[in-house]
Amino acid sequence: MYKKRYVIIFFSFFLLNTIYSQNCIALLKYNGGGDWYANPTSLPNLSKFCNQNLGTNLCLQSPTVEVGSIEIFNYPMVHVTGHGNIIFSDQEAKNLRNYLISGGFLHADDNYGLDKFFRKEMQKVFPELSFVSIPNNHPIFNQKYKFPNGLPKIHAHDNKPAEGLGLFWKGRLVCFYSYESDLGDGWEDLEVHKDTPDVREKALKMGANIIQFVFNQ
């Protein structure tokens, strides 16, 4: 029964995606009071960069999708960020799990203060999994742009090293968590954080690698 339901979800995921002439990277809206809407210019800027440098056809106005909505299956990838609390209901955790094991992908970007809440809620989604450090030779760091030292450090935060973490479901990376890096800040409009061109370029190139990895999967 469960296997049959997952097969239906799996084919529904691809059917819904074929309806769209453009692929969109959606922003995940969650409950709990955290600012899921942080970095409003980041995804549009990343999509524009990918279109110009990878030849993708991403829509430039990233839609918002709620964790528990069936609309999440419309998107090959969703992005979650923020500084504060996240709460997933049981239904939302189940919906996100079904999305991820059916072919979807989640990129989580710690925008400082997200970490303890995000890890706790992802335990509801995958109680049998734990985040593991992704080695520097993993394909996500070796797409068009090479990052031999792994995830780039964009903002200081607690001055800890940037770390790429992942959840793997049956060998497939379903969630990439950029911790102590803050890629999203580097994707924002220049005047928001006034990062140097080099820092912004590193952030955008790493973001492009994530997009390319997802589409190649």
Quick one: average pLDDT of 78-105? 97
Report if pTM > 0.95.
Answer: no
Structure tokens at 208: 């492009």
**Cα–Cα distance, 86 to 123 (Å, whole number):** 12
**Helix and strand numbers, DSSP H then E, in the chain:** 7, 7
Confidence (pLDDT) at 193: 66
Comparing 8 with 209, the larger pLDDT belongs to 209
Confidence (pLDDT) at 195: 79
- Chain segment 208-217, per-residue pLDDT in tens: 999 999 999 8
Does residue 73 carry a pLDDT above 80? Answer: yes
Please tell me the total count of domains within the chain.
1
The chain-wide mean pLDDT, for the chain, equals: 90
When mean pLDDT is compared over 104-113, 127-136, 155-164, the highest value belongs to 127-136
Q: How far is Cα of residue 141 from the mean position of the Cα atoms in its chain?
A: 15
Confidence (pLDDT) at 22: 52
Quick one: average pLDDT of 62-81? 96
- Structural domain of residue 101, as residue ranges? 2-216
110 close to 153: Cβ distance less than 8 angstroms: no
**Residue 213: closest CA among 161, 166, 156:** 166
- Chain segment 132-191, per-residue pLDDT in tens: 999 999 999 999 999 999 999 997 767 789 999 999 999 999 999 999 998 999 999 888
Does residue 6 carry a pLDDT above 80? Answer: no
Residue 57: CATH number of its domain: 3.40.50.12140
